[in-house]
Amino acid sequence: MKFRAKIVDIGCLNHFSRVVNTISKLTKTCVLRLTSHHLFFILSGKVANGGVSMWCELAQAKFFDEYQLVGLSAEANEVCLEVTPENLSRALKTAQTARAVKVKLTKKHCPCLTIVAELPTMSSISRIVTHNIPVDIIPRRLWHELKEPGLPDFDVCIYLPPLKTMKNVVDRMNNLSNFLVMEANIHASGIL
C-alpha cells in the first residue's frame, strides 16, 4: 500500500484544515478511507445503542495538486486507516502558511501518516516541518462495515447560512441552554 498527496493552494489547505478541525471536535478517532478519487472520514457507531454516525466525503481533486494511491490490489484499490483527527488537525495548524504540504503513508516504528510542511522564511532556504501521526491500518475483512449510512427519504430541503456563521451563533447561545431547536416552515425559518 502506498499513499502520497500534495497540497500547494493555500485556500485548499485552509479548507481541508477546517474540515479536519470540525471532525476532530466531533470524535476522538475515526476511519480515513482513501480511494483513487475520494477521501472519506467515517465514524460508524451503532445507532441502535445510541451511537453516532458520521460520513464526510471529499473529492481529492478539489484539494490535492498531486495524488497517488496504490491499494492492496487492483480490485481493492483503497486504503483504510484509523486515525485521531485531533492529531491531524494539530499538524495541519502548523502548516497554515506553508508553501506546500505533503501527506504520505509511511512506516516508522508503526504505520504513520506523515505531514511534511514547507514553510516560508526570509531567506531562500525553506524550513521543513514534519509530523508523524500514528495510524492503524484496518484489515480488508472489516471494510464491509465502512459503508455510507442510509438516510430516510426526505420531502424538504432547507438551505442554511454558511456553516461558519451558524457555528458563531450556536457558540454564543451555548451559555443559554444545552439544547438547540431548529424550526422551518414554508413562510420562515429560524433557530429557537
Mention every residue, 6+ apart, whose C-beta is less than 8 A from residue 145: 44
pLDDT confidence bin for 51, thresholds 50/70/90:
low
Mean pLDDT of 76-80: 88
Q: Which of 163, 10, 182, 20 is nearest to 91 (CA)?
A: 20
Q: 118: which 3 cell numbers? A: 514547507
Tell me which H or E stretch contains 21: helix 10-26
Mean pLDDT of 73-86: 89
Q: 138-177: b or e for each residue (b if 16 or more CB lie within 10 Å)?
A: beeeeeeeeeeeeeeeeeeeeeeeeeeeeeeeeeeeeeee
Higher pLDDT, 49 or 75: 75
For residue 23, pLDDT beyond 50: yes
For residue 158, pLDDT beyond 70: yes
Give me the CATH code for the 2-152 domain, please: 3.70.10.10
Q: What is the spatial distance between Cα 54 and Cα 40, in angstroms, rounded to a whole number?
A: 10
For residue 184, pLDDT beyond 90: no
pLDDT confidence bin for 192, thresholds 50/70/90:
very low
pLDDT for the residue 85: 94
The answer for 50, left when phi > 0, alpha when psi is -120 to 50, beta otherwise, is left
Domain boundaries, the chain: 2-152
pLDDT for the residue 140: 87
Phi, psi (deg, nearest 5) at residue 163 = -55, -35
Q: Facing residues of 29 across strands?
A: none
**Cβ-based burial of 88 (10 A; exposed 0-12, middle 13-18, buried ≥19):** buried
pLDDT for the residue 49: 57
Q: What is the spatial distance between Cα 164 and Cα 131, in angstroms, rounded to a whole number?
A: 28
